[in-house]
Chain A
Amino acid sequence: EPEVTQTPSHQVTQMGQEVILRCVPISNHLYFYWYRQILGQKVEFLVSFYNNEISEKSEIFDDQFSVERPDGSNFTLKIRSTKLEDSAMYFCASSEPQTRTDEQYFGPGTRLTVT
């Protein structure tokens, strides 16, 4: 069964450093998303991406964040200058155009630890 994959599974970085989290969505999916879950809190929407453009972004997704689809398979989230409060589990998701975009398939997540 096709699945969303994410790398790395765990990333440790120092405050102020740039990180890039990588995702490979399901191959025929055209809608891509990033969510995060701070320990003990809700899963929060960060951004949705379609047709090489951001469709919607949350208040969390400020100028420190960016997304890119550098080739036909990868979808990346970059945090330019990490803060302690960026420590969280980051989930990538994708959905296919034939169903509602809400029915999203999630990857296993990348745990980001900022020290």
Chain B
Amino acid sequence: DQQVKQNSPSLSVQEGRISILNCDYTNSMFDYFLWYKKYPAEGPTFLISISSIKDKNEDGRFTVFLNKSAKHLSLHIVPSQPGDSAVYFCAASVGSSNTGKLIFGQGTTLQVKP
């Protein structure tokens, strides 16, 4: 079951630069997409989300872009800070099901170097 894929297991960027994390999905029924951040020994923390009726959502340093035709979304972090170093998970859901089931990608480990 590879409905949500994050093809880059890791990413390393310099502090102050942009981090771009990518996610692809295959299920056209997905209508809501979320990014979660996870530190070791903690649970995933909700970061930002986007509905399929939008193509961009911004919250401070975090922006999520959605390209429905390509079934692709990306998370931009600008500027990146060392505290952003964590595992980032893309997740998707079918809102009409109303059960809240999230399908997660494999995660991308982001390292921001000072």
Residues of A within 8 A of B (CB): 4, 31, 33, 35, 41-45, 48, 50, 55-56, 58, 91, 93, 95, 100-109
Contacts and interface: CB of A to CB of B under 8 A. Distances in A.
Given A45-B101, A95-B100, A108 B43 contact: yes
Given A31-B100, A44-B104, A106 B49 contact: no
Given A43-B89, A103-B34, A48 B101 contact: yes
Interface of B: 32, 34, 36, 41-46, 49, 89, 91, 93, 95, 97-107
A48 B100 contact: yes
Nearest to B98: A101
A55 B104 contact: no
B103 A45 contact: yes
A109 B99 contact: no
A55 B100 contact: yes
Contacts of B49: 100, 102-103
Contacts of A31: 100
B102 A42 contact: no
Contacts of B98: 55, 101
Nearest to A33: B100
A91 B41 contact: no
A55 B46 CA distance: 22
Contacts of B44: 43, 91, 106
4 shortest interchain CB distances as A-B pairs = A106-B43, A101-B100, A56-B99, A55-B99
Nearest to A111: B41
